[in-house]
Amino acid sequence: MTHKIKSRRTLTQICNRLRQEKKSIGFTSGVFDLFHAGHVEYLEKAKELCDVLIVGVNSDVSVRRYKGANRPFVPEQQRAKVLAGLSSVDFVFIFNERRNQQNILSLKPDFYIKAGDYLPDQLTSREAVTSVGGKVVLIPVESQISTSEIIRRIASAECAGNQTVVRKNGAVHFERKLSKAVPAVFLDRDGTINEEVEYLHEPEKFRLLPNALKGLKKLQNMGYRLVIVTNQGAIGLGYYTKEDFYRVNRKMFQDFAPAGVNIDKIYFCPHNAAENCACRKPNTELIERAVRDLNIDLSNSFIIGDKTSDLETGRRAGIRTILVKTGHAGKDGLFAVKADYTAEDLLDAAGWILQKERTGSS
């Protein structure tokens, strides 16, 4: 098993020999922390594309750079040994860089293989692959398993004893206080998750936007807490009641249920703009409440919305901002603020966040 584990320098020489033997070389990489069935399926499919499959393993140092001091859970040598034990894997090496440019330039693979949850234009190594005459291949992800989701489930199980039922403002929900701060994705509701409907208060008019469920599920699988922060000024104006708002939310939860999407908490401002309250976005009181209630790691959190007021909220809170082209698509013109990323929809936004996680960029 350990004879498969080589240095990158040694593998460069091996690849030169393999090319002389007219054998095709495939290369992929990852952390492979808490190895699971999804990894096995992916590597088996990767092996079908080439004669020799080489797997690069992110070193402990490189993982800590972009996933934090608590990762990885499994040391690099052990992760490499697990991979070397698979019949689908021919060689394994450990590398320290965050990105794969140097690996590609050294190995010159015929196929650079990545999971299909990447978007083609998000691959920073594409130019390097082309320069060595290789081809990028994306393998569709069929398994919904992810290491981050496994970690989230473990954390949820550990804190189950701290889960309490809370009745507040007419709503009943479960509230958990995690011992370790967890990043969140703050989401506007109307125009971001569901179709924009003026003064939405009738559940039958609630419609999820295309790719909203897929995007939310992807974010949840990555281990983020999902928190909705929404202005509902029409309540203060008397157009509908809080009970109407809760009914619409119940319809939303019903639509989420088949996909297994769970919202950690909904925070809303019922005041109209004239009341000049502290909780109406772009003020940050709703986010501040969430940080206190849910033990959120704000420094690694994001906000997604369809209005410039959502972006301004994120700017004031010091978190990264994503504008979606749904709903108002940023055309409200209330604030002169630029998003860190402009996404087609929630699924595109989730893909960008995943890319940020993998590259460790801020």
Give yes or no: 110 in active site: no
Domain ranges of the chain: 2-139, 147-359
Contact 189, 197 (CB under 8 A): no
DSSP 330-354: TTT-------SEEESSHHHHHHHHH
Give yes or no: 188 in active site: yes
Give the model's pLDDT for residue 221: 85
Q: Candidates 3.40.50.740, 3.40.50.970, 3.60.10.10, 3.40.50.1000; correct CATH number of 147-359? A: 3.40.50.1000
Closest CA to 316 of 306, 308, 324: 308
Q: What does the alpha-carbon distance between residue 92 and residue 53 come to, in Å, rounded to a whole number?
A: 9
Q: What does the alpha-carbon distance between residue 85 and residue 117 come to, in Å, rounded to a whole number?
A: 25
Half-sphere exposure of 162 (CA within 13 A, CB side): 13
Give the model's pLDDT for residue 216: 96
Q: Do domains 2-139 and 147-359 have the same CATH topology?
A: yes
Q: Which CATH superfamily is domain 2-139 in?
A: HUPs (3.40.50.620)
Structure tokens at 55: 């797997």
Active-site option among 33, 188, 264, 306: 188
Give the model's pLDDT for residue 165: 44
pLDDT in tens, the chain (362 residues): 679 999 999 999 999 999 999 999 999 999 998 788 888 999 999 999 999 999 999 999 988 876 666 778 889 999 999 999 999 999 999 999 988 999 999 999 999 998 865 555 567 788 899 999 999 998 876 655 555 565 555 555 544 444 444 444 444 444 455 557 889 999 999 999 999 999 999 999 999 999 999 999 999 888 899 999 999 999 999 999 999 999 999 999 999 998 889 999 999 999 988 888 999 999 999 999 999 999 999 999 999 999 999 999 999 999 999 999 999 999 999 999 999 999 999 999 999 998 877 655 54
Active-site option among 33, 190, 244, 348: 190
Estimate to the nearest angstrom the gap between the alpha carbon of 210 and the chain centroid. 18
DSSP 73-128: SS-HHHHHHHHHT-TT--EEEEE--SSSHHHHHHH--SEEEEETTS-GGG-TTHHH
Which pTM does this prediction carry? Answer: 0.60
Give the model's pLDDT for residue 33: 84
